[in-house]
A and B are shown apart, each in its own frame.
Chain A
Amino acid sequence: MRRQAFATALVAATALALAFLALPIAAVFLRVSPGHLFAQLGNPVATDALLVSLKTSAIAHVLVLVLGTPTAYLLATNRFPGRSLVLALIELPLVLPPAVAGIALLAAFGRFGLLGGTLHALGVGIPFTQAAVILAVAFVEAPFYIGGGIAAFEAVDRNLLDAARTLGAGPARVFARVAVPLALGGLAAGSALALARGLGEFGATIIFAGSLQGVTQTLPLAIYAQLDADFDTALAIGALFVLIGATVLVALKVVPRWTRSASISLSRSVPSASS
């Protein structure tokens, strides 16, 4: 009797949690017709924001990949004093409120910031430009990619890297032909998570880059800007995000499956049929 009650309570709690999580998502699509939602994406505010988001996210993501991959490899394959401090530093943006990230970026690159004077003397002003959006996005998404990359490179068998060295490969060839191909599944997963986080960036961007339509107004900022003016457009952009998020999640489930064939256990022993 008591066991029955507990089972019922479990199911009820789960149902309530699922309903709470699903209701707002469903509401995005149910409040207005899909055709109307799609039409709202033609609104210049939405198209401008889409272009700004795509451009800034793409550039920020390339920067993160180009600098983050070697960083992850170095940290995964070397042990040195202060390594855990470096790892903590990389993870810090994960736990910072985005607004703090925005303030910090202003303090570093703003007109009166740490590097601001130098940049100003060189004729470079970063805050409230697209460059600021790119920096803000890169700042918040980098930890996702570098963290995933370190785990991916650490999972590569050290003996394979050593074997490549004894076969005449220098460190660069070992990296390109052995380490990166074997870590590719993990790197792709980290990359997808980072990209999703970067596209959704709001707090750091609005503080450091502002919200100027066609220049620094990304999709999340456009939702905020349209809340009062045109709720349906805000909703349409929201629907777009739900679709992007769902795509990333599906990709994360699929990617490990096709890379698993590349990371088989070497100790698996199959009886020889040919000898």
Chain B
Amino acid sequence: MDSLRLDFALPLRSFRLELALEVGRETVALVGPSGAGKTTVLRAIAGLARPERGLVRCGGETWFDSAAQVDLRPEQRSVGFVFQDYALFPHLTVRENVRFGGDGEGLLDRLGIAHLAGVKPAQLSAGERQRVALARALARDPSVLLLDEPLSALDAHTRASVRAELHGLLHDLGLPALLVTHDYADAAALADRVGVLVDGQLVQVDRPEQLIAEPASPFVADFTGVNLLVGTAKPRVDGLTEVELADGTRLLSTDRADGKVGAVVYPWEIALSREPPGDSALNHLQAAIASLVPVGNRVRVSLGGVTAEVTAASADRLGLRVGDTTVATFKATGTRLVPLG
């Protein structure tokens, strides 16, 4: 069985990272706030950080076992590591980068970077660098793929297309893959299962939609507390994408997509008002308020299947009460599309 099994503890500055997880031939995303220890998990698997105790096994091989005093060096572990910002060797060409770890000639074609083979990383776009980093990591024919924030260096425009590419590649590879991201939308789009890591503890591991539907803790709800509106996407000639929801509501998004999608909107990107906005570029939903939940100095307002988060002051100013009909508005740029199915 080609699976990756982790069960280790590693003290960090302000908390202990403790984690037990098994990754089969699937993609698991670790999400959580920055500083939660996500990157350290990847580094411990690769042998770049040393757990205090526990074990890391991959397939039939033991990479780390504190009880048996096994600790393979990084170069002895069959990992493909895609670093945040990609860590391409600036003094080597694309081909030399990819071939650093093994014969990656076929990967240049497969990832569509063969025409860049003689170019140095400085001349590449962020999207191209990401593909070079993937090709380089895969050239070693690794047993496990580790990806640290693989999309964070990309601008919003390239991000959606690269995300779709990466999703296809991870599916085709059929390798155990562990990816780290602070963006729940990326995790939901790329991973079969998502683990929420908070202060070094794995709070919940579940399928992305399950995590939203049944959060195990208030924190998970807060973190994954994104709005996921299922609908059908259709590209428009003006470059925007129109999403028709089940109830006939139409939303606009700047992400490109076609077919069944989840429209992801963060609660803090939704504004509330009494009257529909005059600006037609804004998405809006009109519904009665189902609940009002104060969270610190903010209020989470549920209406018509979405949750908005507004400051307590603006909730007071609007005089919001349960049952009031209110308009929720959000921008097309704040409406992210995640392919579903």
A: which residues have CB within 8 A of B?
Answer: 157, 159-160, 162-170, 177-178, 181-182, 261-264, 266-275
Query: Given that A167-B100, A167-B101, A169-B75 are known contacts, is A275 also in contact with B127, CB under 8 Å in the complex?
Result: yes
Chain B 125-136 per-residue mask, 1 if CB under 8 angstroms from chain A, else 0: 111100000001
The 8 Å CB contact of B125, one of A182, A262, A271, is A271
Contact residues in B for A162 (Cβ distance below 8 Å):
43, 46, 48, 74, 81, 83, 87
**Does B48 lie within 8 Å of A166, measured CB to CB?**
yes
A178 to B136, CA, bound (A): 15
Per DSSP, chain A at the interface is loop
Q: Please tell me which one of the listed residues B47, B85, B91 contacts residue A262 in the complex, with CB atoms under 8 A apart.
A: B91
Closest 7 CB pairs of A and B: A167-B101, A272-B125, A165-B74, A166-B81, A264-B122, A163-B87, A159-B87
Closest residue of chain A to B79 (Cβ to Cβ) is A166
What chain A residues lie within 8 Å of B85 (beta carbons)?
Answer: 159, 266-267
Instruction: Judge if B291 is at the interface, Cβ distance under 8 Å.
Output: no
Task: Report whether B91 and A181 are in contact in the complex, using a CB–CB cutoff of 8 Å.
Answer: yes
Q: How many angstroms from the CA of A160 to the CA of B115 in the assembled complex?
A: 24
Residue B121 at the chain A interface, CB threshold 8 Å: yes
Decide if B268 is an interface residue (CB 8 Å cutoff). Answer: no
Cβ contact of B81, chosen from A163, A181, A261, A273, cutoff 8 A? A163
Residue of B nearest to A170 (CB): B75
Stretch of B153-161, B214-222, B279-287 lying at the A interface: B153-161
Specify which of A157, A261, A271 is in contact with B87 (CB 8 Å cutoff): A157
Other than A167-B139, A270-B123, give 11 A-B pairs with Cβ distance below 8 A.
A162-B46, A166-B47, A166-B48, A166-B75, A167-B100, A167-B136, A181-B91, A263-B90, A266-B90, A272-B125, A274-B125
B46 CB → nearest A CB, Å:
5
B124 at the interface (CB under 8 A from A): yes
Is A165 a contact of B125 with CB atoms below 8 Å? no
Interchain CA distance A274-B48 in the complex, whole Å? 35
* CB atoms of A160 and B126 under 8 A apart: no
Contact of A182 with B101 at beta-carbon distance under 8 Å, contacts A267-B85, A269-B126, A274-B125 already known:
no
- Write the chain B residue with the least CB distance to A169: B75
In whole angstroms, how far apart are the Cα atoms of A242 and B110 in the complex?
58
